[in-house]
Structure 1
Amino acid sequence: MTDFVLVAGTWLGAWAWDEVAAELRAAGHEAHPLTLSGLAEKQDLPAGQQTHVQDVVDEVERLDLRDVVLVGHSYSGVPVGQAAQRIGDRLRRVVFVDANVPVDGEPDLAGWPSDHVRRAIEANDGFWPPLEADDYAGQGLTDEQTARIVAGSTPHPGATLTEPAVLTGPLGALPATYVKCLLDGDEPLPAAAKLLESEDWELVTTDTGHWPMFSRPRELARILHEAAAGR
């Protein structure tokens, strides 16, 4: 049995993991989906990037989890990667699901074409508005899955994307799995690709889009199970 802490990316809350969490629990694991401050049912809370790092650390400590697998999807790879360093020997593995990874002193928006995001944040009182249904085309989602994502999304606090990451050591020293969703591009972003040169990191690919917790929940749960088992 493994404890998984599941953190979704921009606009999403713990609800995004409902199907994956059910699959993990059916396999005998414990699943702890986490909503970050400023999103979903916590959207009234102020949040910067370090708030999100602390959200993850606090959840691990609140539940007194040991031998934990932290899972970060998309944006949340940035706070999850930092939190993985801070929970010490409580960590079994960190899994990045088609995610950005933290780079010391750099914001989430560094390393990929993101000027449009900065403009959107400036134009919307410091928040990045959720995507519309058409933006999810080509990502392996059904109309029903897309509608569910759109209906549940909330504006994302911009400070979490523009504030710099703070690492306490080399991220490549962590035991990690990177899950690349091939419908969202064949290669990880450069920062992740460099980390995958580490012998402590492994690459897993899946033939779906950027939101596999919706498009392929059973497959993603299997990948997480195998990552925890070191397979």
Structure 2
Amino acid sequence: MTEFVLVPGLFTGEHVWRETAARLTAEGARAHPVDLPGLRAGTGADLAADVAALVGVIDAIHAAAEDDAPHLVLVAHDYGVYPAVGAADLRPGRVARIVHVDTAPVADGVPPLAALPDQDLRERLGAAADPDAVLPPPARDAWPRWGSTAGVPGAALDRLTALAAPQPLATLLRPLRLSGAPLPPTTGVLCAENGATLATVRMLLDFGDPTVKALARPGVTFFELPTGHWPMLSDPDGLARVLLAAAAGEGESLVDSGGDRAPGDPGTAGHLGPFLLDVTERPRERRGDLDLYVPEGADGTPRPAIVFVHGGPVPAGAEPTPRDWPTLVGYARLAADRGVVGVTLDHRLHAVTAYPAAAADLAAAVAAVRADPRVDADRIALWFLSGSGPLTAPWLSARPPWLRCLAATYPIMAPLPGWGVDDARFRPAEVVARGGTPPFVLVRVGRETSAIAATVSAFLAAADAGGAPVEVVDVPSAPHGFEGTDHSDSARDAVREAMRRVLGRLTPQR
């Protein structure tokens, strides 16, 4: 019989697990929802107290076992993963598996504060560093700041708010200390409406993200639920099914899912696969972080330029860098084949908090492109892909006369709920709602994740309300990053049509 120890996250206690625990019990398992003493004790309680409490639960379950050692699974939600991992470390061999419910991996020496989704709050609390302070629980309408509430019924949200308690800051400030003993196998439950999906995890693996690469090993599995950050409230049945399957060792593995495959191999990530259109194999001109692809036969007349902006986040040190990805190279060469200068660049979007740095890099790159004597400085287009979508906002707002068009392919048009980024400078919907923005071509894929699709829908609704000139090119059967994986006629036609519309803004005489 499996024994599930259900560990709550910030501001919450055992009450959040009641429905899930009932489903597990109905399936023949035992469920132990716990309250962490840090939340009960108030000021002065810390991570060590929460770890010790879970060690006591683990010991009690083993002591109560009459015959064989129990199959004990620790299930932890957001902050709860820190005491869960700490307890498993102190009781090696007694925990069969740790299940992370919509929470990232933890590391030795890192405090739980690092996992808070709100960047500004992390910085303020870290600067204050007052161990006797408490973090007040959210008001009813403020829970989305801590994670998507998608799917949570109104009554459950009322109960969550009514039973929430202040979180002692000391539980967040103290680093997790591990002995180095092997930890049990782990399972991640990804919540798609909070922005975490198997597709994004695999994409990060192919980008070379060291944290994700560490998870590409036997014993680490994943499940995905189409719900928000509180699946125990929004989908207790689905979560219970996933927990039972995780306890049995089931789930998706990242082993052989990426990282070391060559472009063109089966399963290669889209950005590394061969570009879907035949383009001229013209050389690049590398200038710092810029690559230029210049049309042949230039007669000295300056040409318009399209700057292609890669998405991300892409870890620093990833190889190849984005401007060498076949997708970006393919787009730039396609532009050159159409008679305009194609430009790619590497920018510093290495984390979801790095949009300001990436925006500065892009602005510098555009200035350098406009200064090139072969470029018509009055006819520039910017073309954004995937996670660079929020970088469209400053350009939509500035509306320089030389910026003839913006384009975006499968874009993320606002920071996702789980990112904890609330920077008004990078919210394009708020800009287009005011109208008066440059022409915009948006390539929308049909097989998009729900969280990303929601940002696109909100952007288009805002553009419609503001009368902003946004044209949509749909690719109903294509997935995110389709250029290297979907070489169907509809996908090729969509890329050609998007390019035709951008060129129509750059070179109206054509």
Deviation at 1:161, TM superposition (A): 0.7
* Long gaps (5+) in structure 1: none
- Which residue does 1:167 correspond to in 2? 178
Contact 2:93–2:184 (8 Å) recurs in 1: no
Matched, 1:37 2:37: yes
RMSD: 2.5
* Aligned equivalent of 1:55, options 53, 63, 88: 53
After superposition, the Cα gap between the structure-2 partners of 1:143 and 1:19, relative to the gap in structure 1 and judged at 3 Å, is same
2:43–2:168: 8 Å Cα contact kept in structure 1? no
Q: Deviations over 1:59-113 (max 9, x none)?
A: 1112326320001100111111121222222111110001243211111122665
Contact 2:43 2:132 in 1 (8 A): no
Q: Does structure 1 retain, via aligned residues, the 8 Å contact 2:188–2:223?
A: yes
Q: 1:14 and 1:53 mapped to 2: Cα distance?
A: 16
Shift of 1:139: 2.1
Query: Are 1:116 and 2:126 an aligned pair?
Result: no
1:199 aligned to 2:223?
Answer: no
1:185 is aligned to 195
Aligned length: 228
Instruction: Verify: 1:104 aligned to 2:108, yes or no.
Output: yes
Identity %: 36
Between 17-26 and 139-148, the greater mean CA deviation after superposition: 139-148
Q: In 2 relative to 1, CA 192–178 (structure 1 residues): closer, same or farther, beyond 3 Å? A: farther
Q: What is the letter of the counterpart of residue 13 of structure 2?
A: G
Given the superposition, is the C-alpha separation of residues 128 and 101 from structure 1 closer, same or farther in structure 2, using an over 3 Å criterion? Answer: farther
The one-letter code sitting in structure 1 at the alignment partner of 2:223 is V
Instruction: Give the TM-score of the pair, scaled to structure 1.
Output: 0.88
* Distance (Å, rounded) in 2 between the aligned partners of 1:192 and 1:95: 17
Q: Does 1:214 align with 2:233?
A: yes
Contact 1:117 1:128 in 2 (8 A): no
2:71 to 54, 67, 90: 67
Letter in 2 for 1:155: P
Q: Are the equivalent residues in 2 in contact too, given 1:49–1:161 (CA < 8 A)?
A: yes
Equivalence for 2:92:
88
Cα distance between partner residues in 2 of 1:179 and 1:192: 16
C-alpha contact (below 8 Å) 1:100/1:108 kept by paired residues: no
Secondary structure of the 1:151 match is: helix
Quickly say closer, same or farther: Cα 1:100–1:159, change in 2 above 3 A.
Answer: farther
Matched letter for residue 165 of structure 2: T
| Counterparts of 2:10 and 2:46, CA distance in 1 | 13
CA distance in 1, matches of 2:33, 2:161: 19
Which has more radius of gyration?
A: 2
CA 1:217–1:192 in structure 2 vs 1: closer, same or farther (change >3 Å)?
farther
Structure 1 position 148 matched with structure 2 position 159:
yes
1:28 maps to amino acid: G
Partners of 1:43 and 1:227 lie apart in 2 by 32
CA distance in 2, matches of 1:225, 1:130: 31
After TM superposition, the score normalised by the length of structure 2 is 0.42
1:43 shift after superposition: 3.6
Give the structure 1 partner of residue 433 of structure 2.
none
Between 1 and 2, higher relative CO (CA 8 Å, sep ≥ 6) is seen in: 1
- 5+ residue gaps, structure 2: 251-510
- Residue 117 of structure 1 and its aligned partner are, at CA, apart by 4.3
SS in 2 for 1:90: coil
Distance 1:90 1:124 in 2: 32
Conservation of the 8 A alpha-carbon contact between 1:82 and 1:102: no
The answer on whether the counterparts of 1:43 and 1:154 sit within 8 Å (CA) in structure 2 is no
In structure 2, what is the equivalent of residue 24 of structure 1? 24
Structure 1 match to 2:143: 136
CA contact (8 A) 1:78 1:101 kept: no
Q: CA deviation at 1:23?
A: 0.4
Helix, strand or coil for the counterpart of 1:51?
A: helix
